[in-house]
Amino acid sequence: MATPKPSKSQGIRYKTLMAWLFTLPGFIAQLVFGWMPVLFSFVVAFQKYYFIKEPEFVGAQNFKDVAIDPLVITAFQNTLYFATLSICLTFALPILVSILLMEMSRRTIRAMMILWFIPVASTAGIAIWKYMYHPNLGLMNGIMRLLHLPELKWLDDPNLAMFSLILPGLILFGPGLIYIAALQGVPEELYEAAEMEGASMARKIWFVTLPRLRPIIAMMLLFSIIGSMQVFELPFIMTGGGPGYATTTVVMYIYSLAFGAYNLGKATALAIVLFGVIMAMVFVQRRYFPENIDETQSRA
Amino acid sequence: MTVRRAIPLLFALLVAGCGRDPAMDKMVAEKKLKPQEYAVLPDSEKVRYKDIILRVPAQWGGAILPFDKGPYESPIDKTVHSGDLQTMVGLYNQSLFELQHPRVKVEYINFDMWTDNFRSALAVALSAKKAPAYYIARDLPQTIEQGIYADITELMKTWDQFSQQPEGSIRQGTVDGHIYTIAANELGATVIRYRKDWFREAGIFNERGEPGPRSDWTWDDYRAYAKKLTDVAKNRHGGAADDAGSMHYVEANGLDLYIPDSTGQNDWRFNDKDPRILESLQAVRELVNSDKSITYSTTMGWYERHNEFDSGRVGMISSFSPHIARESLTSPTKMGNNIPYRDTVGMAPLPRGKNGYNPLQPITNPIGFDPTLSPEQLKAALDWVTSWFYGDSFLNRMRNAVLEAKLKGQQSEVYAEYLILPYKPKENLLDKPLEEVFPKDYIATYKAIREAHSPPLPRQYGLQEPPPAEFSKAVHALYAEAITSQIDLKALLAKHANLINTNLFRFGGKADSDKMRRYIKDRTEFYQKYQPEFYAKDWKQRLTTYYRIPD
């Protein structure tokens, strides 16, 4: 007896079922490990939370505590300062370097990419930089002495500490690699056409390279904003937030509220405030810096 | 009934019969067997009888077999044949303990309590009911308030060595009359670790004629010595400071960094009233920037400070006394092959204030117990801990340590263990007096530590205290800013006082003046009795100023 052929609708239903079944483990993982903590944090923010004892509902008290805490303002100022410096130096500079690098031979590009990539080992790198900044024994002041320049206090100077934190990011963060990869995908014909039109190098960069890099730049800018607003390990390892509170960032303060002061409610409330601030920044970025160059042009 | 139908039924009955009968298990467990009765049980019964599980952290009170058998046939083979006596003795102790406590099954677990993320790891382990039975008790009293430790008040009443614990240790772990911690194995104090050879070069000698500070030295002496030991050209500094900053000025003078809140709104407020706090900021700024006798770095912590000392760049640092005693035996050539540790590294109490205050306070590493343990588990955990730190397990470990050290031609650590032990061990295993092993400065400092007393703490009276780690961080930030900036110190103090008052002293609810009164009364009596000079010169004055209690 011949097996009855499944109907078209049965086939679709089977496919849908299979699709759901295959997606389910990932979906559950996302729900449990991704969304549940987020939702749970909204509950904890309204509680006095104990590790063992039953939590107590405290209404908006944790948010009130955040609002009157002078250290929250300091932490946000430091974080914004870090984000601005970080975006200017570690986000913008590699674009320029990548574009200039593309003018070199393929062999040079490859060698530079390797050199760029090898030190991207952030935690180990950060720990080494901490010692490089040592006022008496560190490499940085050794270089200053060699150049007959006045020695600096680096991490011990409240005015210089934040800049000193950003500096390793120039080497340890490798967005340049991503730009180079993207630049290699820009069609040669576009440059040839521009050259035929008599465009200078600056004009080629402005009218060909940058517009083609725009989707990547938009995405990297987004990551950069989110990443630098959540900076933690750099100041945590290198300065512990000091000197004074000169390098205490919001996430560091959240950590210290949660696991230093055992005030999980206030820590979570502050995390929610930070979440709101980042979301607002992302909204502005998405609104005024869309990825799609053609969409922008057609709008214009 | 057909045979075919009967088979599943028979199978079901068979399975049910093979299963453990909880009632039977309970009966076995409830019959309290003596060790000799337990020893004659068949293996299957022995297994069933063990119903009290004790999770012991392998790194602190246990011994875990190697994870990898290497070229041997099994991990235990590796332990035996590679001469890993410590693990063997650990297992022996486990077996001995289980024989003494037939119902208990000890399970070693890997739980590192010495890392920075210990707090979060412990919180997760407790929530999951997978925490070790006991662990180091940090951040007291906040962690007690969090419910992280079991209340052991009743158990303490029946414990013969309760009174052996240093007073300060009991005070640390007592909240509102309830006891939550016991002292572990290290009695000590924050002391000054110094270079004897540098002191000899500088011509500074103590009351015994040895190079080093006198036992009653003051903060002014500390500053003068730090200057004398400094030679910037040789990259030598008198001292090294991390963010702790106050450079002993506050400790020396017994200054209170927080005082009762005169408004009665909160229990406490930051002490920006006492002019000596301002003096301490000024002093710190001068030590680092004018005297240049103290090397300072934001990145300098406990380890960095000790590295500076060990590398011969610094002559004095604050340290923990048990570490010095241990190192003198375990690392006799640490400071160089030609200079024995005991002749190079000295130990002295912290400098005193001009007001007669003695800052020497005995402390111990406190242990707390998992609050989710059953009463039987809690009792077993306490038995394990006491056996490990001064009982049978302790003695077995010490005996082994002596033998092992002899076989390896090393100095035995046992002397240090006895020097720093808060308890009275059941047996003295030492073959010579401690005075023959340790230099006079170690012996004298330890004598002073054992004789010193610790003042009452607010927590004992049910008064809330600021979170210790956060408060200490806030104070460090104040001193760090005094050192690294040129800001007017009065303004700096006001800024930080506001920050600390807003963040760390708002506990919610009004201050309890009755509790405060009792606390201050007991503290006054304490100083009258143990520090009369300080009481007369300073404390009496404080009672009329910022220690006056609001009605």
Please indicate whether the domains covering B30-188+365-420 and B190-359+466-509 agree at the CATH topology level: yes
Q: What is the DSSP letter of B398?
A: H
CA distance A251 to chain B (A): 15
Task: Name the residue among B140, B273, B261, B269 with its Cα closest to residue B511.
Answer: B261
CB atoms B146 and A53 under 8 Å: yes
Enumerate the residues of chain A whose CB falls inside 8 A of the CB of residue B470.
Answer: 256, 260-261
The predicted structure's pLDDT at residue A266: 94
Q: Which of A201-205, B1-5, B515-519 has the highest mean pLDDT?
A: B515-519
**B188: which residues sit within 8 A by CB, 6+ positions away?**
B320, B321, B322, B362, B363, B364, B420, B449
CB atoms B485 and A240 under 8 Å: no
- pLDDT over 50 (residue B243): no
Point out the least confidently predicted range of B156-160, B318-322, B370-374.
B156-160
CB atoms B147 and A262 under 8 Å: no
Enumerate the residues of chain B whose CB falls inside 8 A of the CB of residue A239.
Answer: 298-299
* Closest Cβ opposite residue B477 in set A130, A161, A244: A244
Rounded to an integer, what distance in angstroms lies between the CA atom of residue A228 and that of residue A200? 35
The predicted structure's pLDDT at residue B149: 93
- Domain regions of chain B by residue span: 30-188+365-420, 190-359+466-509, 512-551
The predicted structure's pLDDT at residue A1: 52
Q: Compare all CA atoms of chain A with the CA of B236 and give the residue at the minimum distance.
A: A136
* Per-residue model confidence as pLDDT tens digits over B70-90: 899 999 999 999 989 989 999
Enumerate the residues of chain B whose CB falls inside 8 A of the CB of residue A245.
Answer: 477
- pLDDT over 70 (residue B223): yes
CB atoms A51 and B147 under 8 Å: yes
pLDDT, mean of residues B38-54: 82
More confident residue, A103 or B205: B205
Enumerate the residues of chain B whose CB falls inside 8 A of the CB of residue A133.
Answer: 299
CB atoms B296 and A53 under 8 Å: no
The predicted structure's pLDDT at residue B244: 56
CB atoms A158 and B119 under 8 Å: no
The predicted structure's pLDDT at residue B137: 92
**Mean pLDDT, chain B, whole residue set:** 87
From 3.30.70.380, 3.20.20.70, 3.40.250.10, 3.40.190.10, which CATH number describes the B30-188+365-420 domain?
3.40.190.10
- pLDDT over 50 (residue A300): no
Is the bond into A243 cis (omega within 30 degrees of 0)? Answer: yes
Any domain includes A17: no
* Per-residue model confidence as pLDDT tens digits over B416-458: 999 999 888 888 888 889 999 999 999 999 999 999 999 999 9
pLDDT, mean of residues A9-17: 87
Query: For residue B66, what pLDDT band results from cuts at 50, 70 and 90?
Result: confident
Pinpoint the alpha helices (H) of chain A: 8-29, 36-44, 61-68, 70-86, 93-101, 106-117, 122-132, 139-146, 161-172, 175-183, 188-196, 201-204, 210-229, 233-238, 250-259, 264-288, 293-299
The predicted structure's pLDDT at residue B469: 85
Q: Compare all CA atoms of chain A with the CA of B492 and give the residue at the minimum distance.
A: A244
Any domain includes A39: no
* Per-residue model confidence as pLDDT tens digits over B244-299: 556 788 999 999 999 988 887 788 999 988 899 999 999 999 999 999 999 888 87
Measure Cα distances from B478 to B39, B54, B244, B319, B490 in Å. 63, 44, 10, 22, 11
* Closest Cβ opposite residue A260 in set B301, B467, B477: B467
- For tokens 């104040």, the residue is B478
The predicted structure's pLDDT at residue B448: 95
B428 interfaces chain A, CB cutoff of 8 Å: no
Query: For residue A28, what pLDDT band results from cuts at 50, 70 and 90?
Result: very high
CATH architecture of the domain B190-359+466-509 equals 3-Layer(aba) Sandwich (3.40)
* Per-residue model confidence as pLDDT tens digits over B329-388: 988 888 887 888 989 999 999 999 989 999 999 988 899 999 999 999 999 999 999 999
B337 interfaces chain A, CB cutoff of 8 Å: no
pLDDT, mean of residues A135-149: 87
- pLDDT over 70 (residue B9): no
CB atoms within 10 A of CB B65: 18
Mutation target vs A (from B130, B289, B297, B507; most A CBs, 10 A cutoff): B297
B481 interfaces chain A, CB cutoff of 8 Å: yes
- pLDDT over 80 (residue A39): yes
* Closest Cβ opposite residue A51 in set B117, B123, B298: B123
B452 interfaces chain A, CB cutoff of 8 Å: no
CB atoms A135 and B297 under 8 Å: yes
CATH number, residue A218: 1.10.3720.10
Query: For residue B549, what pLDDT band results from cuts at 50, 70 and 90?
Result: low
The predicted structure's pLDDT at residue A171: 67
CB atoms A242 and B298 under 8 Å: yes
Is residue A243 within 8 Å of residue B481, measured between CB atoms?
yes
Mutation target vs A (from B298, B307, B501; most A CBs, 10 A cutoff): B298
Any domain includes A112: yes
Strands B52-57, B104-109: pairing kind: parallel
B333 interfaces chain A, CB cutoff of 8 Å: no
Number of compact structural domains in chain A: 1
- pLDDT over 90 (residue A178): no
**Domain span holding position A123:** 72-299
Residue ranges of B 301-320 with Cβ closer than 8 A to chain A: 301, 313
The predicted structure's pLDDT at residue B154: 92
CB atoms A242 and B470 under 8 Å: no
- pLDDT over 50 (residue A75): yes
Enumerate the residues of chain B whose CB falls inside 8 A of the CB of residue A157.
Answer: 484
B76 interfaces chain A, CB cutoff of 8 Å: no
A243 interfaces chain B, CB cutoff of 8 Å: yes
Is the bond into B57 cis (omega within 30 degrees of 0)? Answer: no
**Position A289, amino acid:** F
- pLDDT over 60 (residue B474): yes
Rounded to an integer, what distance in angstroms lies between the CA atom of residue B546 and that of residue B132? 44
Task: Name the residue among B35, B53, B62 with its Cα closest to residue B389.
Answer: B62
CB atoms within 10 A of CB B318: 19
CB atoms B299 and A130 under 8 Å: yes
CA distance A90 to chain B (A): 24
Query: For residue B230, what pLDDT band results from cuts at 50, 70 and 90?
Result: very high
Any domain includes A45: no
pLDDT, mean of residues A272-286: 91
Is residue B268 within 8 Å of residue B258, measured between CB atoms?
yes
Enumerate the residues of chain B whose CB falls inside 8 A of the CB of residue A153.
Answer: 484
- pLDDT over 90 (residue B121): no
* Per-residue model confidence as pLDDT tens digits over B285-311: 999 999 999 988 887 788 888 999 999
The predicted structure's pLDDT at residue B452: 93
CA distance A23 to chain B (A): 29
Enumerate the residues of chain A whose CB falls inside 8 A of the CB of residue B150.
Answer: none
The predicted structure's pLDDT at residue B37: 82
pLDDT, mean of residues A196-201: 84
CB atoms B297 and A53 under 8 Å: no
Q: Compare all CA atoms of chain A with the CA of B143 and give the residue at the minimum distance.
A: A262
Q: What is the DSSP letter of A56?
A: E
Query: For residue A100, what pLDDT band results from cuts at 50, 70 and 90?
Result: confident
Q: Compare all CA atoms of chain B with the CA of A65 and give the residue at the minimum distance.
A: B503
pLDDT, mean of residues B79-108: 91
Q: How many CA atoms lie within 13 A of A269 on its CB side?
A: 23
Enumerate the residues of chain A whose CB falls inside 8 A of the CB of residue B503.
Answer: 69-71
B120 interfaces chain A, CB cutoff of 8 Å: yes
Point out the least confidently predicted range of A203-212, B313-322, B358-367.
A203-212
Any domain includes A120: yes
CA distance A170 to chain B (A): 21
- pLDDT over 70 (residue B488): yes
A53 interfaces chain B, CB cutoff of 8 Å: yes
- pLDDT over 60 (residue A121): no
Point out the least confidently predicted range of B50-64, B232-246, B376-390.
B232-246
B472 interfaces chain A, CB cutoff of 8 Å: no
CB atoms B298 and A259 under 8 Å: no
Angle at B267 between CA B266 and CA B271, to 5 degrees: 95
Is residue B503 within 8 Å of residue A74, measured between CB atoms?
no
The predicted structure's pLDDT at residue B3: 55
A68 interfaces chain B, CB cutoff of 8 Å: yes
Given its phi and psi angles, is residue A27 left (phi above 0), alpha (psi -120 to 50 degrees) or beta? Answer: alpha
